[in-house]
Structure formats: structure tokens, C-alpha cells
Amino acid sequence: MIAALHKIAFSLTLTLMLSVQTVFSQDVHFSQFDAALLYFNPALSGLIDCNNRFISNFKGQWSTYNSFMLSYDKPLPAFSIAGGEMGIGALINADYAGETSYGNTMLKIMPAFHKDIIPGFFKLSTGLDIMFNHTSVDETKVLLPGQIDPNTGEAVTGTDFEKTSKLYADLGLGLNGEFKIREDFPINAGITFHRLAGSGGGGFATEQSPSNYRRFSLNANAVYPINTTISLLPSFIYLNQKKYNEMNAGTFVKFSLGEHTPLLDAFYTGAWYRFGDALIFGLAFDKPISTKWTLNFGFSYDLTVSSFSDSNKWKSSNNVGKDSFEISIKLINCKLPIILNPEGIINDPFR
């Protein structure tokens, strides 16, 4: 009986995930804005005082739904248009769920334009989000509630979808304003409109699947130095897609270690709150690995504090765990050699 209940619970979870894709087409989300900048706003492509930026992300949810993402962006100072500079970015995101081999692979190309409106104080950026998406599922492995005997737990997998894969394209548009209260006190605020065409999406059950619902997001972050050693890095994200809303707010506290230790240049610890759902705890560090490259490693854990935590307590051979976590790795190649002093990195790309 216990095994039967486990199978039923797992099948209901898969049904819920498939129905989300079929009925509401909600996009995957990441808990931290600073670890997935380009995913939230294409206007941030190339908005760095460095040559190259690579970011890799992994998100694990309930040991069942996993997301992988890799992004790259750089400024293009050679392309000057109307007194502004271009930037370019790209990312690939792959999601994988459960035994059905449900997969979603997304490729985005993101050109951006940055212009100083008030030199030294206000820079306005806009970016285009050109998206290509491929979704697939193995219908022979789908297990629905009606295919499980509640008494014996015996199940027959497989169903008949009219479609088992989809390929489509869409567009998004992002805006971002960067305000420099001081050179070491920047504030960013932006808005992005995702899936403007509302193309593709839907599910696999019918030929006439509903379109992906349009989504918009708000982002804001800042760096506020308290002294030469400690800085606050508050961030905020809000996402809306159809009836789904998500809002995260919190901060990293950065401790600049400089030459006080040969192991790390800076250490970060912080927390965010996803309203109505979870507490997010984060740790990170950065360290130069050569004269021009710096490495940042981040980890966060989402602790569910809402009623959703009850649905995460069950376990089966397919699903072990309760909450979700994220890992991020950033590699940044700066224009100038990285110079250390007792206060940290002079041209610190994270400040």
C-alpha cells in the first residue's frame, strides 16, 4: 500500500507539471537575480566593464525537475551607434523532468544598446530577447492517475499525445536604467516583456494547444558600501505570467578580504524572501585566478515555509528531498589587470 501511495503521489506530481506546461505554460524561474542576470533582462547584455562574462547555473527541485543554464555576454565598444555602445549576449537553458524524459531546451540571443543619458550618473540600456525553444516528452513513459490501481499499486505507463515535440520562436524586450549615486554606489532598475508573440508553448495533449502566456518581470539591484570592508548587495525580482506571481527580495552582505587571506578575495552571505512561499539562503565567494580572470561561486537553498512544504514531504524512489537549491559559477575576464590592495580588488567586477 505504501508503494502504491508513492506511485500515486509521483504520478500526480508529473500530471501537475505536465498540466502547468499544457494549460498555463509557466516558464522556469531562478531564485537569485544576480546569478541569472541575462535570463531576467536582456538589456544587461554587455553591461560590464570587462571583456567577457560566463555564467553557468544549475537548479535542482525535489530531485525530479532539474534546470541547467549557460550564458555569455560581452560589450562591443567597436560598435558605436548614436553615441552609445552595443553589447551582445546568449544563453542556453535546458530543463529535464522525471521518468517521462520531459525536456525543454531554450536558446536566446540578446543584442543590447547602452547609452549615457547623463554621463557619470544615468545610463539607459535596452535589449532584445530572440528566443528559440524545443520541448519534447516520451509518451510511452507517461503515467497518469487513471492508470494506477489504488489497491495494488500496479500501473500501466503510456498515453497517446497528438504531439510529442515542439519547436517555436518568440521575442522579448528589456529596459534597464543604471544610476550611479557615487562611483561605488550603483543602482539598477529594469523591466522586461517576455514572449511578446505568445507563440508555441501549450502542451502535447491536443493539436490546438494554447499559446504560451506572455510574461513580464521587474528587476532591481544595488551595491551600497558601508565601509571599505563591508557592502550590501540588495536585489529584487518580480515575475508575472498569467495568474502566477513571484516576488523575491533580500540582500547579500559582501566582506572584502583583500590581501588578508590568500584563499579568497571576498565572501558573501545573504538571504531573500520569496513572498508567500520560501526563505532563500545564499553563500558565495570570489577570487582572482589570474591577472585578468576572476571566479565567483555561489550556492543558494530555498527553504519552503508555506503550505507547499507539506506536498514536498513525501518520498519515493523517483523523488527524494523537500526543497530546491541553485549553484552558479561566474568567470569574468576584465579589461584591466586585477589589482589587489588591503581593501579588495580595485577594479572589482562585482562592485
Tell me which residue of 127, 120, 155, 130 sits closest to 141, measured CA to CA. 155
CB 100 within 8 A of CB 138: yes
For residue 74, the model assigns a pLDDT of: 95
For residue 5, the model assigns a pLDDT of: 40
Query: Backbone dihedral region of 284: left (phi > 0), alpha (psi from -120 to 50 degrees) or beta?
Result: beta
Tell me which residue of 33, 47, 27, 32 sits closest to 175, measured CA to CA. 47
Cell representation of residue 239: 515575475
Q: How far is CA 155 from the centre of its chain?
A: 36
Pairing, β 278-288 against β 266-274: antiparallel
For residue 150, the model assigns a pLDDT of: 64
Q: Which long-range contacts (CB under 8 A, 24 or more apart) does 229-234 make?
A: 229/255, 229/256, 229/343, 229/344, 230/254, 230/255, 230/256, 231/256, 231/351, 233/34, 233/268, 233/270, 233/350
Q: How far is CA 228 from the centre of its chain?
A: 30
As a whole number of angstroms, the longest Cα–Cα distance in the chain is 72
* Domain range annotation of the chain: 2-345
Tell me which residue of 40, 180, 53 sits closest to 116, measured CA to CA. 180
**Residue 222: strand pairing partners:** 187
Cell representation of residue 71: 550564458
State the CATH architecture for 2-345.
Beta Barrel (2.40)
293, exposed or middle or buried, with CB in 10 Å at 0-12, 13-18, 19+?
A: middle
Please give the model's pTM, rounded to 2 decimal places: 0.78
What are the average pLDDT values for consecutive 10-residue runs of the chain, which has 351 residues?
Answer: 42 38 55 88 92 93 81 92 93 78 86 95 96 77 60 60 75 95 91 84 50 82 92 94 88 83 83 92 90 89 75 46 83 65 42 36
Q: How far is CA 140 from the centre of its chain?
A: 31
For residue 156, the model assigns a pLDDT of: 56
Exposure pattern of 91-127 as b/e (b: 16+ CB <10 Å)?
A: bebbbebbebebebbbebebbbbbeeeeeeeebbbbb
Query: Residues near 120 by Cβ (< 8 Å), separated by ≥ 6?
Result: 180
